[in-house]
Structure 1
């Protein structure tokens, strides 16, 4: 082979090696770039996963903390300074309310008045027929006549023996026997007389009279009904106590009112009190406090007060629901500091009556003293400030220092 060919082959081989090295360099560079990108992507995925877990853990902790804070509704106390009277419920009662029973046995012969009838004292209400009693009275009168005859005979005998004793015609013993026999016969007459009078008194109960002037509110018998002494009928073996009539004196009515202890000073005997009834809207009646129990009831902590009202016109009826307006005594200091809060804010604890108020972001239990109870609301005379936010419907587990948050008022809700 010639030198020329040798040189050509050598040059061709060099060119081939150079092309091979040039192709390997771009391939290695792309591989490194791809690996770097993959590593970056992997690192990014790992970072995002860790970050999301951290955020989720942080959010869970925040949600848990927020859930641990109780959300409460609050109410603001209202001033009670304008309250000058208390309105208490009561029920009208007849000044005299009496059931009328029979005092003798027999059958009802006639009645003269029905329910709603106004009667005067002493008027005849009913007549009872008593055949057995009439027979007993006749027998008692006959026994009395016999006893009176025996008494007269004993008196004649005693008089004769006393006359014979003066002439010593009879013994002193025989005379004493005659005299004592007269005394026994006289005692028998007195006994028989008393028995006749007793039966005559029972017979007088055949007629039932009105014991006072009033109205008949009930009639529980009718003609021919069996009448038992002290009852209006019988059932089986036992006697059922049932009045013949029921009467009520309605010219004057009385109303019993339970006045709270804190307002007992408002119940002064002789004081005039206005009365209102739903039956007469816009109209006021005048009553008078006539008496009170002069003692506080231990169970209800109230004073029992009687209010009387003149009802000669008969407009008011017994049993009517009435509102008694008691004027409170002048106590401006008490009125200035009194506040009105809803009744559903109260907490009854062993420590006493309390309410929960929001101070900052925490609840605080405050002991209070209440005055008047108006049902849905109560008067607080000590323990609260007008600016306090009182928790409504507090939980039984609420304690001082518990974190709370005030619920946002609903749109269109009541203020």
Structure 2
């Protein structure tokens, strides 16, 4: 029998134990790696969440306005002088010589009125005057005769005084009759209706044959209107807050709908110096030249005043304003890099921006469009040069963030 060498073999039990130990070691390594990775992820998530909890804001610098802006107000045009013409005598319109739009000179005949009743009154007054003059002449002759007889003692002094008094009374009646004739003659002169000044006929409300009643208002009707339109008055209601800057001599640019794109210059000449309690405005009067007659009295116009730059006024975007139960405020970033809310007042609203009158300094850093829920003392992340500023240690180079503590 041949003999073969005997190879020693590891018992199967020992191999199994070794394999188990290796497996357990691998499992421990895997579990440890997983726990470590989860801890790192949790720490990163916590850091990211904390970073996201800090709001990012844009800072703006309040600016001094280059111009004071403008004040646009509606206004109305009126003739420099306007005279409604009424009749001083009653009758019928005989003729008219000037229609609407006709330029007239002072004293130019506009119309004539037939006055048959006035003519008869004047004839009667002249007759009464003649009678009074005849009676006065007779009374004067009689008084002279009685005064002559007084020297012969043939008449009493009382009788002479009576004749003298009667003569004086008759002379008074002559004066009264003469005054009545003069009055009716002067009234008859109003049969001719004439222009009171140089101007334009802007209204004619009568025609030939119309019954004319003397007087104005509810008694007589308006016959003509004469307007001086070489210059026009412009009336505008200026808000009380702007009244101090719209003074005598201030100029404004005037535009009217019928000439789009064209501008006229008006000058302030008077102000009411009082405020209307219903509207909170003050009435201001301007003059505008109208030698060419292009502007029409009674029309609508728009006035634009160029306002001066306020010395301490600053402009910020309207988006920087915050209005809540504490009033009107802006959020600023203070010297300690914490949010500070400041109460402000507005001088003027320009739509996309406002002029701050008080509560803000030119050196303040204003937060534009502050996030909701922002309060005093909060920390914010400042967006700068297209990036966001972060706290040291978590930030990219050249960035920083305001921090608590």
Q: Is this a same-fold pair by TM over 0.5?
A: yes
Deviations 1:140-166 (A, max 9, x none): 110110000000111111111111112
**Separation (CA, whole Å) in 2 of partners of 1:162 and 1:254:** 71
**Separation (CA, whole Å) in 1 of partners of 2:115 and 2:309:** 66
Which residue is equivalent to 1:276?
Answer: 255
Q: Equivalences for 1:237-386 in 2 at 5 Å?
A: 241-334=220-313, 336-337=314-315, 340=318, 369-372=345-348, 381-382=357-358
**Separation (CA, whole Å) in 2 of partners of 1:200 and 1:346:** 77
Which residue is equivalent to 1:209?
Answer: 194
- Alignment check: 8 A CA contact 1:355 1:390 kept: no
- Alignment check: 8 A CA contact 1:108 1:129 kept: yes
- Alignment check: 8 A CA contact 1:110 1:223 kept: yes
**Separation (CA, whole Å) in 2 of partners of 1:223 and 1:326:** 48
TM-score (norm: length of structure 2): 0.65
Which residue is equivalent to 1:407?
Answer: none
Worse-superposed segment, 89-98 or 276-285? 276-285
**Separation (CA, whole Å) in 2 of partners of 1:376 and 1:226:** 63
Question: 1:80/1:121 Cα in 2 relative to 1: closer, same or farther (>3 Å)?
Answer: farther
Aligned match for 1:230, one of 196, 199, 215? 215
Deviations 1:35-55 (A, max 9, x none): xxxxxxxxxxxxxxxxxxxxx
Question: 1:171/1:338 Cα in 2 relative to 1: closer, same or farther (>3 Å)?
Answer: farther
**Separation (CA, whole Å) in 1 of partners of 2:170 and 2:352:** 80
- Alignment check: 8 A CA contact 1:161 1:175 kept: yes
Q: Where do 5+ consecutive residues of structure 2 fail to align?
A: 1-59, 333-340, 376-405
Aligned match for 1:106, one of 69, 87, 91? 91
Deviations 1:343-384 (A, max 9, x none): xx999x9x9xx569999xxxxx99764434679998664579
**Separation (CA, whole Å) in 1 of partners of 2:133 and 2:350:** 76
Question: 1:80/1:203 Cα in 2 relative to 1: closer, same or farther (>3 Å)?
Answer: farther
**Separation (CA, whole Å) in 1 of partners of 2:222 and 2:270:** 30
Which residue is equivalent to 2:155?
Answer: 170
Say whether 1:144 aligns with 2:129.
Answer: yes
Say whether 1:179 aligns with 2:128.
Answer: no
Say whether 1:88 aligns with 2:73.
Answer: yes
**Separation (CA, whole Å) in 2 of partners of 1:186 and 1:231:** 37
Which residue is equivalent to 1:161?
Answer: 146
**Separation (CA, whole Å) in 1 of partners of 2:219 and 2:64:** 55
Which residue is equivalent to 1:60?
Answer: none
- Alignment check: 8 A CA contact 2:315 2:353 kept: no
Question: 1:387/1:215 Cα in 2 relative to 1: closer, same or farther (>3 Å)?
Answer: farther
**How far is the alpha carbon of 1:137 from its aligned partner?**
0.8
Name the Cα RMSD after superposition: 3.6
Q: Equivalences for 1:383-398 in 2 at 5 Å?
A: 387=367, 389=369
**Separation (CA, whole Å) in 2 of partners of 1:374 and 1:218:** 43
- Alignment check: 8 A CA contact 2:68 2:310 kept: no
- Alignment check: 8 A CA contact 1:341 1:378 kept: no
- Alignment check: 8 A CA contact 1:258 1:303 kept: yes
Instruction: Please give the secondary structure, in 2, of the residue aligned with 1:223.
Output: coil
Question: 1:386/1:311 Cα in 2 relative to 1: closer, same or farther (>3 Å)?
Answer: farther
Question: 1:377/1:226 Cα in 2 relative to 1: closer, same or farther (>3 Å)?
Answer: farther
**Separation (CA, whole Å) in 2 of partners of 1:284 and 1:102:** 40
The total of aligned residue pairs comes to: 302
Q: Where do 5+ consecutive residues of structure 1 fail to align?
A: 1-75, 233-238, 360-364, 392-399, 401-415
Question: 1:376/1:101 Cα in 2 relative to 1: closer, same or farther (>3 Å)?
Answer: farther
TM-score (norm: length of structure 1): 0.63
Question: 1:159/1:279 Cα in 2 relative to 1: closer, same or farther (>3 Å)?
Answer: same
Q: Equivalences for 1:12-91 in 2 at 5 Å?
A: 81=65, 82-91=67-76
Instruction: Please give the secondary structure, in 2, of the residue aligned with 1:137.
Output: helix
Question: 1:112/1:378 Cα in 2 relative to 1: closer, same or farther (>3 Å)?
Answer: farther
**Separation (CA, whole Å) in 1 of partners of 2:74 and 2:123:** 58
**How far is the alpha carbon of 1:261 from its aligned partner?**
1.9
Which residue is equivalent to 2:176?
Answer: 191
